[in-house]
Amino acid sequence: MNHEPEKTLHILHLFPDLLNLYGDRGNIACMEHRLTWRGYGAVVLPFTCESTRFDLSDVDLVFIGGGSDREQKIVCGRLLEHQDALRNYVEDGGCLVAVCGGYQLLGEYYKLEEEMIPGLGLLDIRTEQGKGRLIGNVVLENERFRQKIVGFENHGGRTDIGSHTPLGKVLYGHGNDETSGQEGVLYKNVVATYLHGPLLPKNPELCDYILQNAMKRKYPDFDGFEPLDDSLENRANEYIVQRFTSK
């Protein structure tokens, strides 16, 4: 007999048809699996170019991936129509995960050589295209997490995060802008980062942090996750950390 899970998260995947570089879709699969392995429900709601109804009232987690400048511009134009709804959602503690192009468009603008793509202004950050692309493996450290965060970056934009808290300190790689030694942003329940990979299968602790924030917001009686057997994921993560940070 099938039992309905007692607790279910609704995950809105923004523009999977346009923003899906370096396996960003794997982040959705990872969140879904880490919920269902524990007996919780996961419902993924794609919002594509064809979609018309944009409603965050029943959404627990929003994911937006990375893309080329061209695709980013189309997406940003579409999302500006829903700027207020997205701002209210974020300010109310809604969970949002944004990767690379998706991260850039949460800011004030993304300035290219010959044009300016206006952003959603959900974060007080600004991105400008620099000379050459910042490409390669990345290792981050944040005291909030036991596990280092690993991933892969490939971006032309340099992001100034002002007084925002970064997702991590760069131990290896370029990060937001090559010079600040910072990567990504953590703001309320927003996790924004340049890291692809996909990000979440490589970083199970970060994935659970995001899912727990969504659970706590939706279910006041939620009292934390049971651990999963992450021995393989942890070994893969540790291997990358060793490879790029040990002298």
Residues 16-55 that bind ligand GLN (CB under 6 A): 21
Residue 126, H or E segment: strand 126-141
Report the SS3 class of residue 238. helix
Q: Nearest-CA neighbor of 110 among 124, 126, 93, 88?
A: 126
- Is residue 173 within the footprint of ligand GLN (CB under 6 A)? no
CB of 72 to ligand GLN, least distance (A): 5
Residues 136-155 that bind ligand GLN (CB under 6 A): 154-155
- Is residue 72 within the footprint of ligand GLN (CB under 6 A)? yes
Q: What is the rounded distance in angstroms from the CA atom of residue 133 to the CA atom of residue 21?
A: 15
Q: Which is nearer to ligand GLN, 111 or 169 (CB)?
A: 111
Residue with tokens 């005291």, as numbered in its chain: 143
**Cα dist from 112 to 12, 79, 130, whole Å:** 28, 19, 8
Interacting stretch for ligand GLN, rule CB under 6 A, among 66-74, 177-185, 197-205, 233-241? 66-74
List 66, 151, 166, 201, residue binding ligand GLN (CB under 6 A): 66
Q: Kindly report the number of other CB atoms within 10 A of residue 216's CB atom.
A: 16
- Is residue 167 within the footprint of ligand GLN (CB under 6 A)? no
Task: Specify the amino acid at residue 130.
Answer: G
CB of 3 to ligand GLN, least distance (A): 40
* Catalytic positions, written as ranges: 100, 196
Task: Specify the amino acid at residue 67.
Answer: G
Q: Which is nearer to ligand GLN, 52 or 179 (CB)?
A: 179
Q: How far apart are the first and last CA of the chain?
A: 55
Total residues at the site for ligand GLN (CB under 6 A)? 12
List 107, 151, 156, 204, residue binding ligand GLN (CB under 6 A): 156
For the CA atoms of 174, 237, 196, 165, what is the dihedral angle to 10 degrees?
Answer: -60
Q: Which is nearer to ligand GLN, 35 or 195 (CB)?
A: 195
Site residues (CB under 6 A) for ligand GLN?
Answer: 21, 66-69, 72, 100-101, 154-157
